[in-house]
Amino acid sequence: MYRIPEQKARSSSEFFNKALAGTWKEGRRRTVRLPDVDPGTFGEYSSWLYHSTYNPSSEFKGLVKTYILADRLMANEFGNQLINAIVTRLNVGSSEDRSPPSKEEMEFACRTVPPPTPLYRLLVDFEVHVGSFALNWLKDIGLDKWFSAMDGEKLSREDRRTQRFMLQVMSTAITRFASSRPPPFLMSVSDYHRAVSGDETN
């Protein structure tokens, strides 16, 4: 169990702000239960609340899991810091911190990150311009199975989520490279930030 001052929780998270307001049982009890959240992942959020120099984990799956929590809590400032850390991991260049995710890590991400989120867009953009996960996944699953699935053959729930990601990658690639001279890809971290109260970022 984590004990967090109510004002800290409510000012950092729209989810907590709504849950602790009004006549909801959480508001009456001043307690919010999140039984499906890993304590270590929630600990990252708690650490961020209390430390102005918060340094998130550099482990890719950990960053993804923590971002999913930030999105669920509608803690946009926290989520933006995690996006910064993930972009550092993904960014092409000579940075010592750069460490592209493995096939297994990308598979985990595309199966767990909700499609409407900025992180999902970021992963799609990375795969379109830099990554090799889509190609390797198609090799593993086989083109016959891919086309059979497109014709209605059942895939596992996990493979359906991966397929959805692949379709988004293909759609984005077609749009981006429709021009004979597509613009160079620059991964700008602010493109994947959510708006924070008092900030003009979209």
Classify residue 83: in a domain, yes or no: yes
141 domain-assigned = yes
25 within a domain of the structure (yes/no): no
To the nearest whole percent, how much of the chain has pLDDT over 70? Answer: 75
8 A C-beta contact, residue 121 and residue 182: no
* Cα 96 to Cα 187: distance, rounded to the nearest angstrom: 17
Instruction: Specify if 55 maps to a domain.
Output: yes
Q: What range does the domain containing 89 cover?
A: 37-192
Q: How many whole angstroms from its chain centre is CA 180?
A: 31
pTM score, whole prediction: 0.82
The total domain count for the chain is 1
pLDDT, position 143: 58
Per the model's pLDDT, the better-predicted residue between 100 and 150 turns out to be 100
pLDDT of 174 strictly over 50: yes
Residue 27's pLDDT band (cuts 50, 70, 90): low
What mean pLDDT comes out for the span 96-120? 85
Task: State the chain's mean pLDDT as an integer.
Answer: 81
Q: Is the pLDDT of residue 155 over 90?
A: no
> Is residue 120 one of the residues assigned to a domain?
yes
> What DSSP assignment string belongs to 185-200?
P---GGGGPPP-TT--
Q: Are 102 and 90 in contact (CB under 8 A)?
A: no
In this predicted structure, the answer to whether residue 16 has a pLDDT above a threshold of 70 is yes
The per-residue pLDDT for range 58-97, each reduced to its tens digit, is 789 999 999 999 999 999 999 999 999 998 887 744 455 5
Give mean pLDDT, residues 116-128: 91
Q: List, in sequence order, every beta strand (DSSP E) within 5-86.
A: none
**Which of 14-28, 31-45, 177-191 has the highest mean predicted lDDT (pLDDT)?**
31-45
* Residue position matching structure tokens 């199966």: 111
Does 46 map to a domain? yes
Position 173 in a domain: yes
Torsion of CA 132, 190, 162, 138, to 10 degrees: -20
In a domain, 59, yes or no: yes
